[in-house]
Structure 1
Amino acid sequence: MYSCLRLEILTEDRIGMALDILKEIFAINISVTSTEVFLKKVYIKIDKIDENKKDILIRNIRNLNGVLNIKEIKLMPSEEHERRILAFIDSVEEGIIAINKTGQIEIFNNYCEKIFNYTKEELVGKHITKLLSSDAPIISLIKEGQSYNNLEMKIKTKRGESHYLTTGRAIKDDYGNILGAVASIKDINKVIELANIVSNTDESVFKDVIGNSIEINKIKELIKAISSGNSIVLLRGESGTGKEVFAKSIHLLSKRSDKPFVPVNCAALPEQLLESELFGYEEGSFTGALKGGKKGLFKEAQGGTIFLDEIGELSMVLQAKLLRVLQEGKIRRIGSSEEEDIDVRIITATNKNLEKMIKDGTFREDLYYRLNVIPVYLPPLRSRKEDIPLLVNFFIDKLNKKLGKKIIGFDMKFINKLMEYEWPGNIRELENVVERAMNLCDEKILKCKDLMIDFTNGIIENNKNKSLGVDLFLSDVVELAEKEAILEALKKYNTIRKSAKALGVSHTTLVNKIRKYDIKWK
């Protein structure tokens, strides 16, 4: 006994062929479940037929005028097509729900089973309100036909909570009548994970690293190679070479990219305040301590990355405390007797000569070897001048909005002048120069007339007629010129921070220079 018989009949192309086949079926009292007719092909599906009737039917159809061949098949074309579609729907990493115009569920794929904790056997054929509330977007679809995109939904059922994004479309006939609706479902956690993957591609991770020079491409390759591990990275390079940008790239390419990235400028805060910021403190541990205490930046970065910039500015006391963190993987809040475990990747940076500082007794040798696991030397701008046009374009795009300008580019003389300069302040100095030029520019193209810098002698000489003396050592000449430049900047900008920005150095560096040269200033 066959539960179902499917026949494929090959025929000549003549009028009435399908009708003659159906007459033979009805002649022996057989009920047809479905028929599919194509040019020179007829498909018949028949329920519950015994072996004897099957033989008679096949013989009678074969004897018809115009029948070329007849054979049994496992699936009708429409069934095969439907099963392929259902297999595809079940294989995609996205939920698919389809309902008819009365709200009965017709498709509920495997992904939906995971999202809602219901099986298709429990829901297919049931009304959609067995799963969703009566105001669910898909129900509005079969009433109003209004599509929706990426709506965030959070529902609670007897089997738990579901949090997802959904997009829906109405199914309509040729006249615009609504026949049903289909909705896609995306688990919100998977969406976030995918967004992280997309945002962490090389192109997006290095979006703020501007340049295609050999030197910068070597650094990118090195960053990609070291990012997957947990070893300490020491970024070394002159001020203004973009150390924080590369630190962020390492974090985004690491397995910790979905956890915090916490940058800390070790030179920006006094020693006591920096200690409490880094390690946290207990309530009442000192005057001004917050109620409830503070967990500190190391704990803020738990599971992620902490970036300690200007590590060479740490006092010997804090160097010792940092060394213990590196050795033990533990911190102790100020005012506490208990140690807490931390899981952070540490990236440090400096523009100091740490080796000389060790000889001078201002930097711990044991800490140096702990930090110097993976040193990355960032090239100064003067060694990759071919990147200057790209950097200038980047700064123009960045600063147009800030300055309310509509500058579209630069002429080649402008760039050639920039290429002649040695850029002691590196990328930060270049950005300052571009910003000054944009402020002075009254056209849409930056030109040499907009440059406000002495490209012959650099920014350090303001009086071309002044002689420094040929019998001075070069180091003395540099110090005299540096002191003069600082005095001029302070006079012009009135604050250390603005002066440091104009000179292309950090606030801390300028403070140290003022002390070094004993510059008397308010």
Structure 2
Amino acid sequence: MENKKIKFLVLENRIGIAKKIVDILTLKNINIIKMEINPPYISVELQGQQKFLDGFNNWIQEEIEEIKEIIEMDMLDFERRGKELEIIINSMNVGIIAVGRVGEILYYNSMAAELFSIIPEDVNKNIQNIVPNFIYDFINNQKNRNESIEFSQNIRGKEVNLVIDIKSIEDEKKKKIGALLVLREMEEVKKLMQSITRPSMNTFKEIIGESKIMKNTKKLAKSVATTKSNIMILGESGTGKELFARAIHLNSCRGEGPFVAVNCSAVPDALIESEFFGYEKGAFTGARNSGKQGLFELAKGGSIFLDEIGELPLHLQPKILRVIQEKKIRRIGGQKEIDIDVRIISATHRDLEKMIQEGTFREDLYYRLNVIPIHIPPLRERKEDIPIFVKYFINILGKDIGKENIQITQKALNKLINYDWPGNVRELQNVLERAIIFSKEKIDIENIMLQNKESQKLKKKGTNNKEGIHFPINLPEMIKNIEYEYIKKASEKFNSSREMARALGISHTTVINKQKQYGILL
């Protein structure tokens, strides 16, 4: 018996043409192994005696006049598509396992076979024999849902962190008939995250500033970036400390690794330890069943940027010190120690030496973090850079607001240069954004609304005096000025955003957002 794969071109796709082909082949004692109908083509894999297959093309066209062309094939179209799909799936750097209604393995690719030591004999066996029980519980759950789970797996004698996405497969009635498992190593996930966030990284060339003091600062930062030492970036709020941190990371030997930035003042006290160190499954009420990696684990092989390090709670400081000294962490609820290879870049606008004297910051941690200090000068010490910033922000913000060709008058520019900028570059950006919004063809001096001067004018008018109110007024702007005054006064009186939040009756996250909005120092 011989096999033959044929594709018929049937131009007249009338009813019964497929049956006619089957009937003729049956009379010739030729068996149809596979058949695919994709008009105007009908493809078949035939099996029969050689005497019937010889001269097949001639006699089949004599018998069936609707067949206009016959093409011999190595494989049918659906087989080719399946083969191409298999090659694609096996070339992916993720593991893929398809399971049926009761968890039986239907298909797996080469990466899944490597991760879980799957062999061909495992097909149709239950996946419970391969994956951890808690993952099987998700798969076996009859509810249609998608889950993402982190877990550890021993692969070739080495503990490997994996992420598994479980996606339900449904029929046309939305009934669950199986699931698709997509597995990734955490190292690959981190590389993907890094490639996605890479456009937000910046080089030293992209940091604006041509003044002598700024050139010297960039030169220092660039020279120490190539070292392995921890770096502390000092400077007032709004000076661009994170820009320097990102440039230092990108210019270091860790530049291809992850850059994890965390604002120490923005993480709630109740979550800060689990965010930094992660936790094992069941470590506390509400913890994920799969556990969670902490920020130090995510930054492995790269840099972690601890912004506002002065806001770090005192009880967490010795644990950060231990990470620096031993290069290991232990997850909450975990027993084993995890090796950490991370460079720490920290930043603060607080006087840490004063905090050490007050007992709110550990001296030993300070010296571990402050191996190489870099001071970012405030904008008032490099006023020659203000015109450069103005040109840059007008170009960027003008496009966003829809005023691409807007210009600024010399008087308005002089007003910006002569101001002291307590909020630095961030405040300058906010002032220019407001100016662009309220201006028409040009930004003039009356469009430059500097917060402290405007608030003083408001006080002089006396908003509680009915006789002192003159219309028309800009009520939203007046409310902003009042808000600014209270945020500014609270910043001067209290030592942290959390204290400010309690005093103002708002959340500490709102406090941080308002400080950024108004460019106010804490």
TM-score where L is the length of structure 2: 0.51
Q: Report the counterpart of residue 188 of structure 2 in structure 1.
A: 190
Matched, 1:60 2:59: yes
Per-residue deviation at 1:248?
1.5
C-alpha contact 2:422 2:521 (8 A) present in aligned 1: no
Aligned AA for 1:421?
N
Q: What does 1:71-470 align with in structure 2 at a 5 Å threshold?
A: 71-119=71-119, 121-133=120-132, 135-136=134-135, 140-141=138-139, 144-155=142-153, 163-199=161-197, 201-203=198-200, 229-230=226-227, 242=239, 244-253=241-250, 254-256=252-254, 257=259, 258=299, 259=302, 304-305=343-344, 347-350=372-375, 380-385=382-387, 387=389, 419-423=416-420, 427=424, 443-445=475-477
C-alpha contact 1:235 1:347 (8 A) present in aligned 2: yes
Return the alpha-carbon distance in structure 2 between the equivalents of residues 161 and 63 of structure 1.
67
- Residues 29, 243 of structure 1: alpha-carbon distance in 2 compared, 3 angstrom cutoff: closer
Return the alpha-carbon distance in structure 1 between the equivalents of residues 133 and 306 of structure 2.
48
Return the alpha-carbon distance in structure 1 between the equivalents of residues 144 and 216 of structure 2.
51
Return the alpha-carbon distance in structure 1 between the equivalents of residues 231 and 155 of structure 2.
51
Q: Report the counterpart of residue 35 of structure 1 in structure 2.
A: 35
Per-residue deviation at 1:85?
1.8
SS at structure 1 position matched to 2:63: coil
After superposition, give the CA deviation of every residue in 1:105-153 in whole Å (9 maximum; x if it has no partner): 222112213332334x24333322221245535x655652412132223
C-alpha contact 2:233 2:346 (8 A) present in aligned 1: no
SS at structure 2 position matched to 1:7: strand
After superposition, give the CA deviation of every residue in 1:184-207 in whole Å (9 maximum; x if it has no partner): 2222222123324434x242568x
Aligned AA for 2:416?
M
Aligned AA for 1:444?
P
Return the alpha-carbon distance in structure 2 between the equivalents of residues 117 and 196 of structure 1.
29
Paired residues, what number?
364
C-alpha contact 1:168 1:183 (8 A) present in aligned 2: yes
C-alpha contact 2:383 2:417 (8 A) present in aligned 1: no
Per-residue deviation at 1:73?
0.4
SS at structure 2 position matched to 1:144: coil
Q: Which stretches in structure 1 are left out of the alignment for 5+ residues?
A: 269-289, 315-332, 334-341, 353-376, 393-411, 454-492, 508-522
Aligned AA for 1:152?
E
Per-residue deviation at 1:420?
4.8
Q: Report the counterpart of residue 21 of structure 1 in structure 2.
A: 21
Return the alpha-carbon distance in structure 1 between the equivalents of residues 422 and 387 of structure 2.
13
Return the alpha-carbon distance in structure 2 between the equivalents of residues 39 and 295 of structure 1.
70
After superposition, give the CA deviation of every residue in 1:61-100 in whole Å (9 maximum; x if it has no partner): 1322322222320111111121222222222232221122
- Residues 388, 124 of structure 1: alpha-carbon distance in 2 compared, 3 angstrom cutoff: same
Aligned AA for 1:183?
L
Aligned AA for 2:418?
Y
Return the alpha-carbon distance in structure 1 between the equivalents of residues 92 and 246 of structure 2.
32
Q: Which stretches in structure 2 are left out of the alignment for 5+ residues?
A: 260-298, 311-317, 328-339, 354-363, 395-408, 432-449, 459-473, 486-491, 497-514
SS at structure 2 position matched to 1:445: helix
Return the alpha-carbon distance in structure 1 between the equivalents of residues 33 and 89 of structure 2.
26
Q: CA RMSD in A?
A: 6.0
Return the alpha-carbon distance in structure 2 between the equivalents of residues 384 and 235 of structure 1.
25
C-alpha contact 2:163 2:183 (8 A) present in aligned 1: yes
Return the alpha-carbon distance in structure 2 between the equivalents of residues 142 and 187 of structure 1.
23
Q: Report the counterpart of residue 336 of structure 2 in structure 1.
A: none
Aligned AA for 1:304?
R
C-alpha contact 1:141 1:181 (8 A) present in aligned 2: yes
Per-residue deviation at 1:416?
6.8
- Residues 12, 46 of structure 1: alpha-carbon distance in 2 compared, 3 angstrom cutoff: same
Per-residue deviation at 1:22?
1.1
C-alpha contact 2:97 2:182 (8 A) present in aligned 1: yes
Per-residue deviation at 1:25?
1.7
SS at structure 2 position matched to 1:384: helix
Aligned AA for 1:104?
E
Per-residue deviation at 1:308?
9.7
- Residues 451, 168 of structure 1: alpha-carbon distance in 2 compared, 3 angstrom cutoff: closer
Aligned AA for 1:194?
L
C-alpha contact 2:305 2:345 (8 A) present in aligned 1: yes
Per-residue deviation at 1:21?
1.6
C-alpha contact 1:105 1:127 (8 A) present in aligned 2: yes
- Residues 422, 136 of structure 1: alpha-carbon distance in 2 compared, 3 angstrom cutoff: closer
Aligned AA for 1:168?
I
